Structure 1
């Protein structure tokens, strides 16, 4: 999955100016949170790609079984589903 807006969003945020120290500190916290979110999303996508690759090695070209293995892994780790 591509993160086409990541660099554009970060650049826009870095161009902001703040009037007070508190606003600057709050911005830094929010910016670090944004970086953590992107890092976690990329790690999740990499994990799912590795699950898909392992499933392909196990089941070959059987797309239904590969998709089922990926979906099962998603359900195992997603709390809301």
Structure 2
């Protein structure tokens, strides 16, 4: 499961752009970096869930997909 903004160069350039243009005065740059860090950690967690499900269920893609979806639903507050 790849993170949408996987390229660190891209992510760093976005953060730099935001810092230089808008958020440097408000101090929200730190918050944006924290959100990015948490989103990346969430994606890494789901990847590990997928790997664990593959080890448990083998090549049964339906069960692997279901295991990942269940974990997402359990931990997402809005669902």
Common fold: TM-score over 0.5:
yes
How many aligned positions are there? 73
TM norm structure 2? 0.81
- Cα RMSD for the two superposed structures: 1.8
How far apart are 1:15 and its partner, in Å?
A: 3.1
Partner Cα separation in structure 2 for residue 14 and residue 36 of structure 1: 14
How far apart are 1:7 and its partner, in Å?
A: 1.6
User: What residue in structure 2 maps to residue 20 of structure 1?
Assistant: none
User: What residue in structure 1 maps to residue 36 of structure 2?
Assistant: 38
Secondary structure of residue in 1 paired with 2:52 = helix
How far apart are 1:31 and its partner, in Å?
A: 0.1
User: What residue in structure 2 maps to residue 50 of structure 1?
Assistant: 48
Task: Look at both structures and tell me which one has the larger radius of gyration over its CA atoms.
Answer: 1
Q: Which runs of 4+ in 1 moved over 4 A?
A: none
- 5+ residue gaps, structure 1: 18-22
- 5+ residue gaps, structure 2: none
1:11 maps to 2:16: yes
TM norm structure 1? 0.79
